[in-house]
């Protein structure tokens, strides 16, 4: 419906326009305690350094699904699981080893993705496709790809805000997440689709809903 499309658009616009959000937060920051200011500042680090080309990718993603009625054909290649494995391989070549913290971050990101996808990463028109593709013990990270992984990064500040973590540890975590984002950007042409081919007609039960 027009209402759903408008709601999706407003959500996406709010997520990709970091500058506007920063200005709005500037008013709120003056009214909160110092330790809360530091935490919010840390939580906004991920969005403030979000690569511009990936922001555009998010807008294109929204337009394909909500405006053109196109879906990502599943299963994707590479999958989220495959991308995170490639990232670890990339770190090995660069550092000559896999740090425990890096392995833990990718493992946690995979777990977050599997749980967050059905709860907050799908547009309404993608719900039916999800039910058709994810059955039994199948993990979303072995079916979905970069397009939906990128949506998770937009939601991470919200998810991290509920995690009890020291400021220094939170900063280090976000630096690692930013490194993964830069890896996605570096491989954008290979990891992301330039056009969606799947048809969403009937994906939400009836055309136009």
CB neighbour list of residue 57: distance below 8 Å, 6 or more residues apart: 147, 150, 188, 192
Q: Look at residue 206 in the predicted model and tell me its pLDDT.
A: 34
**Mean pLDDT, residues 36-42 taken together:** 48
Whether residue 157 lies inside any domain: the answer is yes
CA distances from residue 48 to 44, 104, 130 in whole angstroms, order as listed: 6, 24, 31
Give pLDDT tens digits for 52-100. Answer: 999 999 999 999 999 999 999 999 999 999 999 999 999 998 888 777 7
Q: Are 183 and 87 in contact (CB under 8 A)?
A: yes
- Domain that includes residue 153, residue range: 43-190
Whether residue 4 lies inside any domain: the answer is no
pLDDT higher than 70, residue 174: yes
Whether residue 166 lies inside any domain: the answer is yes
Q: What is the DSSP code string of 19-84?
A: HHHHHHHHHHHTTS-HHHHHHHHHHTHHHHT--HHHHHHHHHHHIIIIIS-EE--SS-SS-HHHHH
pLDDT higher than 90, residue 25: no
Residue 7 confidence class, pLDDT cut points 50, 70, 90:
low
Residue 101 is part of a domain; what is its CATH number?
1.10.274.30
Number of structural domains found in the chain: 1
Among 25-29, 108-112, 180-184, 190-194, the range scoring the smallest mean pLDDT is 25-29
Among 26-30, 91-95, 159-163, 180-184, the range scoring the smallest mean pLDDT is 26-30
Whether residue 102 lies inside any domain: the answer is yes
Whether residue 205 lies inside any domain: the answer is no
Q: Look at residue 112 in the predicted model and tell me its pLDDT.
A: 92
Whether residue 14 lies inside any domain: the answer is no
Residue 9 confidence class, pLDDT cut points 50, 70, 90:
low
pLDDT higher than 50, residue 28: no
Which pTM value belongs to this model? Answer: 0.75
Q: Look at residue 6 in the predicted model and tell me its pLDDT.
A: 53
Work out the angle between the directed axes of helices 52-62 and 2-16 (0-180°, nearest 10). 180
Whether residue 209 lies inside any domain: the answer is no
Minimal CA–CA distance to 194: which of 60, 101, 94? Answer: 60
Whether residue 145 lies inside any domain: the answer is yes
Beta bridge partners of 71: 198
Residue 171 confidence class, pLDDT cut points 50, 70, 90:
confident
The overall average pLDDT reported for the chain is 79
């Amino acid at each position: 419906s027009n209402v759903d499309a408008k709601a999706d658009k407003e959500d996406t616009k709010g997520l990709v326009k970091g500058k506007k959000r920063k200005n709005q937060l500037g008013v709120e920051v003056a009214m909160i305690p110092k330790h809360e200011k530091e935490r919010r500042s840390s939580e906004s680090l991920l969005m403030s350094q979000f690569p511009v080309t990936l922001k555009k990718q998010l807008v294109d993603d929204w337009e394909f699904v909500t405006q053109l009625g196109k879906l990502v054909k599943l299963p994707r290649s590479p999958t989220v699981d495959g991308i995170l494995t490639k990232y670890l391989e990339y770190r090995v070549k660069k550092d000559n080893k896999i740090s425990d913290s890096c392995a833990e971050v990718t493992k946690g990101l995979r777990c977050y993705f599997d749980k967050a996808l059905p709860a907050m990463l799908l547009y309404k028109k993608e719900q039916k496709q999800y039910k058709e593709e994810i059955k039994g013990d199948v993990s979303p990270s072995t079916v979905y790809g970069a397009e939906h992984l990128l949506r998770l990064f937009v939601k991470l500040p919200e998810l991290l805000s509920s995690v009890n973590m020291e400021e220094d540890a939170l900063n280090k975590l976000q630096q690692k997440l930013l490194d993964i984002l830069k890896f996605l950007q570096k491989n954008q042409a290979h990891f992301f689709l330039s056009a969606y081919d799947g048809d969403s007609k009937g994906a939400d039960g009836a055309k136009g809903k």
